[in-house]
């Protein structure tokens, strides 16, 4: 049986959703069920910058480089399109 992870969006009207763990958020979240916006879906545009609270793996080097460019020194910020779900998370869109 597959393990599922719950993604919650505190501070929004969007209901929590459950996805199979280790799925790509960008493939499963749409504008209808998420406040997260996606552009390129490859980690180079920064459109899906979010604050993530939960137990997730650290960013890969390419994502880390992009994060340092966009929001240096913010420990909980990630690119949602690059996020690997390994547990329940809270996601808030970063307000620009």
Q: What CATH number did the domain enclosing 37 receive?
A: 3.10.20.30
- Give me the domain span that covers residue 25: 4-93
Residue 52, pLDDT score: 95
Number of domains into which the chain is organized: 1
For residues 84 and 2, the answer to whether their CB atoms sit within 8 Å is: no
Note down pLDDT in tens along the chain; length 96 residues. 569 999 999 999 999 999 899 888 888 887 667 888 888 888 899 999 999 999 899 999 999 999 999 998 888 999 999 998 999 999 998 875
């Amino acid at each position: 049986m597959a393990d599922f992870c719950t993604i919650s969006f505190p501070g929004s009207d969007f209901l929590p959703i459950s996805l199979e763990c280790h799925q790509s958020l960008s493939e499963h979240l749409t504008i209808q069920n998420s406040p997260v916006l996606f552009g390129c879906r490859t980690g180079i545009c920064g459109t899906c910058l979010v604050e993530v609270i939960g137990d997730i793996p650290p960013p890969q080097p390419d994502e880390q480089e992009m994060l340092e460019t966009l929001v240096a020194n913010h420990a909980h910020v990630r690119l949602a399109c690059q996020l690997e779900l390994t547990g329940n998370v809270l996601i808030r869109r970063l307000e620009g």
